[in-house]
Each structure stands twice: as structure tokens, then as C-alpha cells.
Chain A
């Protein structure tokens, strides 16, 4: 599947001839982790390639904060964004009803504050859509959000965490309509439609261009008080691109006003519901818009969406293998660094026990930081890609190794240690010949814990463009493609077992008791 190779090439870079481009460096195109964002980014990428630019893809880079941070710091050059999001989530300004005014406001503010450009809107709006099942709408006579407010106490809402927190999401909705749901659950985009359709919740937030709204036969309630601000889609470009490749900006501007809301719903449906690979849908869209010519490059045969998981895994084995290797690299490097730091630190703390608990607890606090938050904090410091991912994984691996080294060495056979001391061994001899060998199983248990956690956490590295099996999981989640999710999750599980088994073998090597 070309899409997977593209995901990978986003990491490795892709070299194409660039006859018309005025830069040698590739243009880095990113997206947020949901279907429409993937599609728009791929359309940008293919259009740029058709105009002779080299392109590097960072699909599903991260949610608004991460993607925008990356753009602002010129880690990426362009990603699709929505004017309403820019106004509310990034600028923190009050919403306005007029799309033109919103666009003018974000254009001006972003240029002045960040040197970032909004290209002219693509032509459609993708605003929030509050949706219910047809049966619910009929039974409770719901057509508008004002109707919803009447009965909201008796309903269970499943909302994306994003929506629950944003001023233009649930809090604003509660104020504008007096809506107060009986129960609010945070649900990820990938599961909320299924949850609604299966009756797990009664109301969800969707996007007005989602293909799923049609597929699940949902009713979108009318925003009769015009609460949701306009969310016009547009390409957001970084300062470095304006400087290095103004002609790329011209090329991207060719898309302005060409995509209607019904176009988008149709394209999204092809990806989300029909399971057509994103590059194919993007290619066809550009062709239909007259922005590219049919090329000799045959797209890969569409593997039927109903083919089995094993068949799929086999077909994608090369991609899976290279993503697994990258995953292993992330885990191996970060774990080795964590061992190199926590082992001596644990031993040092054992000698100054007063400092031990505060230090170990401090390191333990790192463990409580949500991984996504930690990754987001790193972008301004370390940018995106492999380095911040390694640092985050390193930080997460410290605690189990540190705690077990300290406890293991402290509690190792106190009777034997006491006797060794009484018979004239030096503290150094006791550490090397008695405590470390006897603590080895406990220390190794810490290393194994860290390794297994690390393999799991490394799947999140995909959100900041570090690659690994998380690429498949996040893309699969965004595109509701179960096989793609499994293609990332199954090898990750196998990898966790293998790493644990291998360390178990190492443990037997260093364990002194047979």
C-alpha cells in the first residue's frame, strides 16, 4: 500500500527531481492526526511534487499545539489548519460569526506574532457538528441545539478531549445554549462514531465534513444560535517557507476556493468509509480539479478492505519490518542511556540515603506526566523527530531502573553484607562482590519493567514525527482502519515480549544463584 510507504518516506525523506523549484531543501508537509488533515496534507504534498518540489511528509504529526509549535519553529513548512481553531485555540481570542472577518483577523495576527502565513481558504468549512442517532432525534424531536438543551440532562455525551477543554467546545456550548449533559465521557475520534452507533453514548461532537455522519446515518443538530465560529480550512505556512520558496506558496495557493464542503464530505467518505488509500484519493482529487496531469505512475492495486489481517500484515511486511527496526532503535538507545544514568545514580543514592527518597520521588514525578504532554513540552526545546522522542523515552525509563537499583542494593542479603563488613571487606569490595551481584535480579526486573513500558510509550513517538510502529497505530486510528492499527499494535506487543524475553535471558547471565 503506497500510503504506508509514504508514511515511512515521511521519515526517511523522498528524493524527486526538482526542475522548477527554487530551493534544494525538501518542503516538509505535516498534518494533524485525523483523516481530513491527512488528506489535505497529501493533496498539498502531491501538488508541490507536481510543480517540481521535493517533499518530505510528516503525516499525523500531532494535535493543534504540537503541529503549530512545529510550524512556528520551522520544523515543518506547511500543514492544513482551520481559521476558527487558529483564532480560539492558538490566539485565545473571542469568536466572531463572520468567516471573512475571522480570516482577516488570524491572517494579520499570525503574521505579526509568529511570522506565519494563512494562505487563502480552500473553499469549505469544517465546523463542529453535534450529532445524535436518528432514533434519538425522532424520539425527542431534536433538530437544533436549542432542542438539545431542553433534554440534555437525560443524555450521555461522548466528546473528544479536545472539545471538552476548548473555549469553543463544551464550555462555550454550555454557556450559549444552557446545555448540561447528564454524563460526559472523553472519547477519541477513532471510537466515538462506533460508540454512538452502538448506543454507548447519545451525543457526540463530529466534524461537519466527516464521512461517518452519512455512514452511520446520524442527524447533525443545527447551530441555531450560531455559536460555533467559522472553521475555514486553509494551508498554514511557516516563515522559513516564505523566505526559502515563495514559489511553493504560489503553488499551494492554486487550491484556494476549489474544495467545496460536499467535495470534502465525499473525499473523506472514500477514505474513512471505503478505505481507499489517502494518496489515491488525493491524486484523484488533484486530477479532477485540473491541477495535475495523469501520470504513468500506476497506483498500487487496492487490496480489498475485507482481506484478512494476516494477509494484510504479510503484504505490508517490509513496511512493518522497517518501522519495527526504528521502534527498536528508539527503545534501545533510550533504554541504554537510562541504564547508564540510573544505575550509578541508584548506587550513589544508596550511599547517601537521606537524599534518596526526595531524588527518586522527583524522578517518579516525571512518570506521572502524560506522555503526550511531555512530548509537547519538548518541541520548543528540541524540535520534532527522533531526538525529543529519545529524550522523552529516556526520562520515562529512569524511574523503574533507579528505584530497583536503589532498593535492590540497599536490601541485598543484609546478613551476608554485615558478615562481609565484619570480616574486613571494604565498602567498594562489598558493593562489587556482594551487593551488586545479589541485587542483580532486582535491578534487572527494573530494567525489564522500563523496557516493556518503553516499547509501549514509543508508539506515541509517532506524534512528534519520530516514526516507529506508532505511525501505523496513529494513522490507523485516524482513518478508522483496524488492520492498520493491528499492523502497528501486534508487532509492538511481540516486540515487548521479545525484549522482555531477551532481558530475561540476560538476567540469568548476571544472576549469581543458579
Chain B
């Protein structure tokens, strides 16, 4: 890992270890996320990818190792303030069912007590392709699955965070809607230049959206590579197997 230009590194995890009882969920995992890039954490259930993601905004505190965001070790930051700085998109959208779309998207700007929460929310809705005049006053129950995930993305981005964490954000959608959202997300990310960490079990999604891919297995990093490298030089039989199962060409 290069140490050149510390300010180009948004997030650095060093030898992070987390145990739940007798199970070791993370076993000395290190990753680096460069500013403006998208890092994908890929692996099967139980590989530790979601646990690692949840360490980044202190939903989980590691037993060992260190996580540094923008130069500050996160364990010295107030977790509530930290979370308000970081966007988050859960798999099920996690929209508050009793609030309108507008109120949902305004959530983080309001928590951060910015004056223009309303404008920020409106802009975020436009960004994800939902016409505010048509969608702002709807309830989550009045939206399709794809629209709900778009609102969840808008909510994560409304306060203009430097970093956004996505936990299998498109996993529960049908193939066509998923493809639409993936394309849309790639465009938004490029436009905003936002740094993203994406957890997925879908290698095609990782190859499509990520600049850097971390393959995880049983709490350890199996390989870290950009899409091109990963495709061409899988570091282990496991990664090769992963590629062939996704019906992607293996040299």
C-alpha cells in the first residue's frame, strides 16, 4: 500500500479483528479507500464483509486493529457525529415507513442542523431520478422496490457526505431494476466524486461499479485488486472459482 498523499486516502483499516463469542468474524483485515473511488467488499455470507463495513461508522467496534477516516482514528470520534458524516444505504432501504419521502431524505441534513435541509433533499431526489413534485409527499409503502432504494440512496447522499457505505443496496431487486440502479449509481458517483464502500455478493456488480475489489473469505482478505487484475490474475483457486461461478471469462 502506498503512503503517498495521506489526504488522498479517505479510509484506512489496519489489521482489524472482531470476534463474536468463539467465532472470528474478522481476522486481521486491512483495506485502503482512495478519495473519489469505489471499493467493493465481496464474499459469501459469513465472510465478514458486512461486519467490516459496520466497523467503518462504528455500528460495530473492532476488538483489535484500527480504522482511520480522514486522518482520525474513528474510536476517538463521537459515533453519532461520525455517522452523520457518512452516508449509509442498507439492503432493505430502511426507510422510515411513517414518514414521507421528503422527510426521509431530509433526515441527515436535519440531524446535522443545516439550514437548507429542504433544498438538499430536493436536489438529492433529482439526482437519483425521482421527480420531487411527484414523489416528495409519498410514503415508502406507495413506492416500488426500485424507487425505495433510490430514495435510500438519495437519503444517504442528501447531506453531501465524503463517504458513503452501501450494504448490498441492490441485492433484493429484480435483474432489470438492479441494472438500472447500478448504472444510475455509477453516474451519480462520478458526478459527485463521492467515495464509496460497497458490500456485495455479486461479482458482476463489483466489477461494474468498483475501482478496487477486496475478496473476503472467512474473515480474511483473499485478494485485493482492481477489476482488470482480478479478472486476469485471480490470486487463488477460490477467486478463480468465484469468477467461473459468475460465468466471467477466466484466462
Contact = CB atoms under 8 A, between A and B. Distances in A.
A438 B111 contact: no
Interface in A425-441: 425-426, 429, 433-434, 437-438
Contacts of B92: 415
Contacts of B108: 423-424
B97 A423 contact: no
Nearest to A433: B96
Highest count of chain A CB atoms <10 Å: which of B80, B139, B141, B155: B80
* Candidate in B59, B80, B98, B139 with the most chain A CB atoms within 10 angstroms: B98
Contacts of A433: 96
Nearest to B83: A424
B96 A423 contact: no
Range for the number of chain B residues in contact with chain A: 20 to 34
Contact of A418 (B84, B90, B141, B155): B90
B41 interface: no
A449 B206 CA distance: 52
Interface string B34-65: 00000000000000000000000101000000
A421 B96 CA distance: 12
Interface string B81-108: 1111000101011111111000000011
A422 interface: yes
A413 B99 CA distance: 13
Given A422-B57, A423-B111, A425-B111, A416 B83 contact: no
A421 B83 CA distance: 8
B97 A421 contact: no
Contacts of A413: 96-97
A419 interface: yes
Interface string B59-82: 100000000000000000000111
Given A415-B92, A513-B139, A422 B83 contact: yes
Contact of B90 (A419, A424, A429, A514): A419
Contacts of A501: none
Contact of B59 (A416, A421, A429, A514): A421
A148 to B, nearest CB: 69
| Most central of B96, B99, B108, B139 by chain A CB within 10 Å | B96
Contacts of B83: 421-424
A424 B94 CA distance: 13
Given A413-B97, A419-B90, A434-B96, A424 B139 contact: no
Contacts of A415: 90, 92-94
B88 A423 contact: yes
Nearest to A422: B88
B229 to A, nearest CB: 32
Contacts of A512: 97-99
Nearest to B152: A419
Given A419-B88, A419-B90, A513-B139, A424 B81 contact: yes
Contacts of B99: 512
Nearest to B107: A423
A426 B80 CA distance: 7
A420 to B, nearest CB: 7
A334 to B, nearest CB: 31
Interface in A334-383: none
A-side interface size class: 20 to 34
Interface string A490-506: 00000000000000000
A33 to B, nearest CB: 51
Interface string A211-229: 0000000000000000000
A422 B90 contact: yes
Interface in B135-179: 139, 141, 152, 155-156
A421 B86 CA distance: 12
Contact of B141 (A421, A429, A438, A513): A513
B85 to A, nearest CB: 8
B141 to A, nearest CB: 7
Nearest to A420: B96
A416 B141 contact: no
A424 B96 contact: no
A424 B80 contact: yes
Nearest to A513: B98
Contacts of B97: 413, 416, 438, 512-513
A437 B139 CA distance: 15
A420 B99 CA distance: 12
B94 A416 contact: yes
Interface in A46-62: none
- Which has the most chain A C-beta neighbours within 10 Å: B59, B88, B90, B94? B94
A252 B167 CA distance: 86
Given A415-B92, A423-B155, A425-B111, A437 B98 contact: yes
Among A421, A422, A425, A433: residue with most chain B CB under 10 A: A422
A424 B84 CA distance: 5
Contacts of B95: 416, 419
Given A416-B96, A419-B90, A424 B141 contact: no
Contacts of A426: 80
B155 to A, nearest CB: 7
A275 B155 CA distance: 75
A25 B139 CA distance: 66
Contacts of A416: 94-97
A514 B107 CA distance: 21
A426 B107 CA distance: 12
A424 B98 contact: no
A172 B139 CA distance: 72
12 contacts: A413-B96, A415-B90, A418-B94, A419-B88, A419-B94, A419-B96, A420-B94, A420-B107, A422-B83, A422-B90, A429-B111, A513-B97
Interface of B: 57, 59, 80-84, 88, 90, 92-99, 107-108, 111, 139, 141, 152, 155-156
Q: Which 7 A-B pairs have the closest CB atoms?
A: A419-B94, A512-B98, A424-B84, A424-B83, A422-B88, A415-B92, A415-B94
Given A420-B94, A422-B57, A434-B96, 9 more contacts: A415-B90, A416-B96, A422-B59, A422-B94, A423-B88, A423-B111, A437-B98, A512-B98, A513-B97
